[in-house]
A = this chain, B = another copy of it.
Amino acid sequence: MDASQLELKNQICFPFYSVSRLITKAYKPFLSKLNLTYPQYLVLMVLWESDGISVNQIKEKLLLDTNTLSPLLKRIEGMGLIKRLRSTADERSVIVSLTEEGAKLKIQALPIPEKMLENLSAEGIEIDEIAGLRSMLNTWMKILSKNNNQNESK
């Protein structure tokens, strides 16, 4: 049992946790111009890509549970960017769709990803490295979320 494994620099979760928070913080100047938080921006990205989907479909795309999504969606609705309507086909489902204002916000959001990449590369992070890392993380995401679902169905 190697005690050095408990040192912070040898942890795998800690750098994930920190880098995730730091990148979210790096998004903040761009997102605060649109009066959005990062999770709100994620929801809108999902809807800009596929409008009129159910809460459950958003849950699956973002890997967030409904106890997180429900209040999050309510706030975005309160800002007038989305509407929530019970599905008539299945009254358990709630369909989330963009308002005109919410759809228009996409235009202002368009330059954000590019600007973020510019910022990261200005900090000395290679663009190639980012692309490689992204695909690796997407693989990890699939593996870990599968495990997550298995636990849920226990």
Contact = CB atoms under 8 A, between A and B. Distances in A.
A6 B144 contact: no
A13 B116 contact: yes
A30 to B, nearest CB: 11
A15 B134 contact: yes
Interface in A96-130: 106, 109-114, 116-117, 120, 123-125, 129-130
Contacts of A10: 113, 134
B19 A23 contact: no
A72 to B, nearest CB: 14
Contact of A15 (B17, B112, B141): B141
User: What is the count of identical protomers in the complex?
Assistant: 2
**Residue from A2, A17, A111, A137 whose CB has the most chain B CB atoms within 10 Å:** A17
B24 A130 contact: no
A13 B20 CA distance: 7
A26 B147 contact: yes
Interface of A: 1-3, 5-27, 38, 42, 45-46, 48-49, 61-63, 106, 109-114, 116-117, 120, 123-125, 129-130, 133-134, 136-138, 140-141, 143-145, 147-148
